[in-house]
Amino acid sequence: MSPYKNGTLPKVKSISVFLVFLAALASCQLGDNRMHGKISSSGAATLEPPVNLVVTNTWIDRLALNWQPPSATVSAYRVTYAMGSVAPESCAGGVVVASPSFILDALVSDQEYSFAICSLDLATGEMSPLLAVTSHTLKAVSLSEVYVGNSNWNTYVDNDGLDPYSGTNTACSGAVTGFLGCLHGGEIRKVEVPTLASCGNYVARDSLGVFNWICQDSGTVTFYSTGLRLAKGLRDLLDGDGWFENHLIVGQPGQDEFATLMSSSWWTNPIEPLPPGSGALSTPGTIYYLAADRTDDTHELADGVAVVTAPGVVLTGGATSYVFHAFGKNYFWIEADVSSTANPSISVFVGSHFRIINSAVRNQPIYVSNASRFRIINTKVIDSLSNGIELNSSNQFQVAHVSTANSAQRGVYVSGGTENSFVNITNINNGDSGIEFIGSSPVTVSGILSSSNKGYALRYFPGGTASHLTSFNDFRGFYASSKADILLNQFLRYGHSSLVLNLNSVDSSTFSQIAISDPGEGITSTTSDNNKYTNNILLAGAPTCTSSGGTNPGLDSSCNLTDASDGVRRTVLSPASSFFGEVSFDATNAHGGVSLTAYASITDWLNFDNIFRVWGRSGYVYPSVNLTDQCNAGDCQIWDLRLKSGASDYLNKSYDGLNSNLAFVAGQTCPPAVDGDYTLTDEQAPANTFLVNATEILFDFEGDDDGLCENNESCIYSPNFGFYQGEGDYRLQGTCTFQDGSGGNPVTGVKMFAYPVNGA
C-alpha cells in the first residue's frame, strides 16, 4: 500500500522491494512534474517496453513514476535511475516491481534525476528496451505558524493588527467585536520565499486542496493561508487514525518551483474516538471522530473541542435527547451529519466563537440562543419537524452558504439579535417562509435563492440591507412592516402570485434593481413615506401596484415612479421564457432519473447537477398560480432557475435594464455596470457603500464577509438580476481593470472577477 496516509500518490505493490531500493539509493532523490529531458527507448530485446512514462506528484523529497503496460502481457518491470540528466544505459540492477507505478522517497531538493524502466519476464529474465525520462525536484521552502503558540485547531487570537497576519498574538479576549473579531489561528500558516522578487504570477496551493492562499510582497515574498476553501474542513485533514500529510507547493501556472516537506504536523491536537452513549466531550483541544453510523444520547461539548463524523456517517440522537448540546461553551467546532427525533439536533446556549460547518442535519433544527460571534457555514437542514435553523437573541454572527429544505415551518427563523449577516442562503419547499425575522435589529443579507416556500421568501425584514435575492414560486415575496431605512437591491421574482413586494408602514427606504415577472400584484405600498425606487425597475406585462396612504411613497397605483424616485421603469415582455424551467433528468439527484417524484418518497432535497436547481410543484404550465406554494402532496418536479443564455430579459442587462452590458474582458476596463460610482449607501451604523452589481468573495481575509462589494475587496461581477450571476470558476479568467469611483459615494480598490459562463 502507499506509504502516504492520504493516498494521493500511486501505490507501491511491494513494500519490501521498495525499502530495499530506497536503502540502496541512500541520499538519491527525485523531482517534479516538469520534464526536462526526452523520453527515449533503446535495446535489442524482443520484449515490448512500457509506454507513456510520466513523472507525477513530484515535490522536494519524493516522486512518483507512472506508465502504461505494453500491448503484450508483462509479468513485471525493472526500474533504475541516475542522478543528473543522463539516463542509465540499461535497467540492470534496478528494482523489480509488479505494477506500472513506483514511488521514491527521501530525496534531495532542487536536483535533476533520470529514470529508466524496462518490461521484465520473470521466468526468463529477459528485459525490453528501456523507456527513460528526466525530472527535477522542487526547491525547498519552510511552512511556519503565524501565531506561534496559538496555532492549534480551535485556538483563536484577537484580530487586532493592520491585517489578519500582523496581530499581537493575544488570545481571543472579546475586546474586538464581530464574527471576525477573533481569528482562528489553526487555519493561518505562512511560507516565505526570499528568492522571489515579487508575487508576480506565483500562486500557492496545499497538496490536499483544503486552504485558500494569497501572496504578499511588501517585504519578503510570503504566501499566507486565508482559511478553508468552501466545503473543505477537518474531514479533509484527518480521520480516526490521525492527521493527513500535507504540504505547500508554490509556482507559476503549469510550473511548480518550490515546496515544503510533506508533513502531518501542522497541528498537534489529539484525535480520539467519539465516546459512546452520552459521553461528554470534555477535553479542550481534542478532536472527537466518529467512523461508523451510531445512535447516542446527548453529547455535551466543552470549550475548544471539535467533533467530526466520517464522510457518509450519520450520528443519530436518542428518543428524548439532543445530538450535541453546549451551554456557555466557546471555540468548539461541529462538522457532522446528524439526525434527531426529539429535541434540536444541535443546541447551543450562551457561547461564542464556535463553528457549525460542513454539516447535514435531519428531522430537527439547529437551535442557537443568546450566543454571539459564531459562524454557520456550508450546512444544510432537511425535513425538520419545526424550523430549519432557529437563532434566538444572538448577536454578531454569520450564516453563509446554508441550505434548508422541506422544514415543517420556516427555513431560517431569527428572533432578536443585532449586527448579523446572512450570505448565500438557499431555502426550498419549506412549510412557512424561507427566512423570517421577529424583533431583530437591522441585518445584512446578500444572496438568497428561495423557491416554493409556503410563506414569503423573506418575511418581516427588520431593516438593513438585502441584496441579490431570487424568489421563485414562493407563495409571497418580500415583506416588511413598521420599519425604516431598508435598502433592497437586486431582487428578482418570478412566479404567479400577489404581494410580491409588500411594504406596510415602511419609511425612508430605497429599492434598486427590482425585477418582477408575476402578472399579479407586484408592489404593494401601504402608509409608507419617503421611499425611493432607483436604478432599474423591471415589471412584466401590465403590472398591478397598490399605493395607499403615506407621503412620498415613491410610486403610484399605476406603478409609475414618483416623488424622489429616480429609477427607470421598464416593461418586460417575455418573463416566462427567461429561465431554464422544468428538468426531466438530473444525474446527481437520487430521484433525478425521472421527471416527477412523489412528495412522500423524496429524500434527496438538495443534491443537484447545479446549485440553482430546486424541487417544486408540477402539473401546470409555468407561470401558473397552481405552481405557487410548497409541494407537499402528489408529484414534485425539479426546476432549474438559471437564466437562459439567449432569451432572458434579466440576463446581462444589469446596467440599464434594456441593453446587453458591455463584455467583461480580463485585463481590460471593467464594464460600466461595475464602475466605482455605480453604488448604493445604506443607513446602517456604520453605513455600507457598495457596488450595485457585484458581490463580495468570502473567506479571503480581504473584507468584512458580509457579501456586499465594498472598498478594497475581491468581488464577483453581477451582469444579471437576482441571485444567478453565472457559474464556473471565477478565478479562471482573471480580473478586469476596475475603475475607482470619484463621486460622492465611491467604491475604490476592488479586484473584480466574473464567472466564465453566464446563462443556461
**Angstrom distance (rounded) from CA 638 to CA 630:** 13
pLDDT class of 285 with cuts at 50, 70, 90? very high
**Angstrom distance (rounded) from CA 359 to CA 403:** 11
Residues 342 and 380 in one domain: yes
Structural domain includes residue 561: no
User: Is residue 12's pLDDT more than 60?
Assistant: no
Across all residues in the chain, what is the average pLDDT? 92
Residues 254 and 298 in one domain: no
Q: How many CA atoms lie within 13 A of 259 on its CB side?
A: 28
Residues 373 and 410 in one domain: yes
Lowest-pLDDT choice from 40-44, 161-165, 407-411: 40-44
Contacts of 542 (CB under 8 A, 6+ apart): 519
Q: Which of 414, 447, 474 is the last residue of a domain?
A: 414
- What pLDDT sits at residue 7? 33
- What pLDDT sits at residue 543? 75
Within 10 A of 180 (CB to CB), how many other CB atoms are there?
19
User: Is residue 22's pLDDT more than 60?
Assistant: no
pLDDT class of 11 with cuts at 50, 70, 90? very low
pLDDT class of 45 with cuts at 50, 70, 90? low
Q: Which three cell numbers stand for residue 38?
A: 526526452
Residues 32 and 50 in one domain: yes
Structural domain includes residue 382: yes
| Mean pLDDT score, 504-525 | 93
Residues 96 and 191 in one domain: no
| Mean pLDDT score, 680-702 | 97
Here the CATH number for the domain that contains residue 315 is 2.160.20.10
- What pLDDT sits at residue 495? 87
- What pLDDT sits at residue 409? 99
**Residues spanned by the domain of 183:** 143-259
**Angstrom distance (rounded) from CA 555 to CA 568:** 12
- What pLDDT sits at residue 519? 76
DSSP 275-302: PSTT--B-STT-EEEE-S-EEE-PEEB-
Residues 105 and 217 in one domain: no
User: Is residue 332's pLDDT more than 80?
Assistant: yes
Residues 148 and 252 in one domain: yes
Structural domain includes residue 732: no
| Mean pLDDT score, 55-78 | 91
Sheet architecture: strand order including 139-140: 139-140, 255-259, 248-252, 203-206
Structural domain includes residue 107: yes
| Mean pLDDT score, 181-196 | 98
Instruction: State percent of the chain over pLDDT 90.
Output: 85
| Mean pLDDT score, 394-398 | 98
- What pLDDT sits at residue 368? 99
Contacts of 462 (CB under 8 A, 6+ apart): 437, 439, 440, 441, 442, 443, 483
Residues 227 and 163 in one domain: yes
Contact assessment for residue 695 and residue 725, using Cβ atoms and an 8 Å cutoff: yes
Structural domain includes residue 750: no
The count of structural domains within the chain is 3
Structural domain includes residue 450: no
Between 274 and 279, where is the model more confident? 274
Contacts of 243 (CB under 8 A, 6+ apart): 237, 264, 265, 266, 267, 271
User: Is residue 501's pLDDT more than 90?
Assistant: yes
**Angstrom distance (rounded) from CA 102 to CA 98:** 10
One-letter amino acid of 578: S
- What pLDDT sits at residue 739? 99
Q: Which of 82, 117, 138 is the last residue of a domain?
A: 138
Structural domain includes residue 347: yes
Structural domain includes residue 575: no
User: Is residue 28's pLDDT more than 50?
Assistant: no
User: Is residue 9's pLDDT more than 70?
Assistant: no
Here the CATH number for the domain that contains residue 65 is 2.60.40.10
Residues 171 and 76 in one domain: no
**Angstrom distance (rounded) from CA 328 to CA 348:** 8
Residues 57 and 70 in one domain: yes
pLDDT class of 73 with cuts at 50, 70, 90? confident
Residues 151 and 68 in one domain: no
**Angstrom distance (rounded) from CA 304 to CA 258:** 34
Q: Is the dihedral of CA 738, 743, 748, 752 positive or negative?
A: negative
Q: Which of 393, 414, 435 is the last residue of a domain?
A: 414
Instruction: State percent of the chain over pLDDT 70.
Output: 94
Residues 221 and 327 in one domain: no
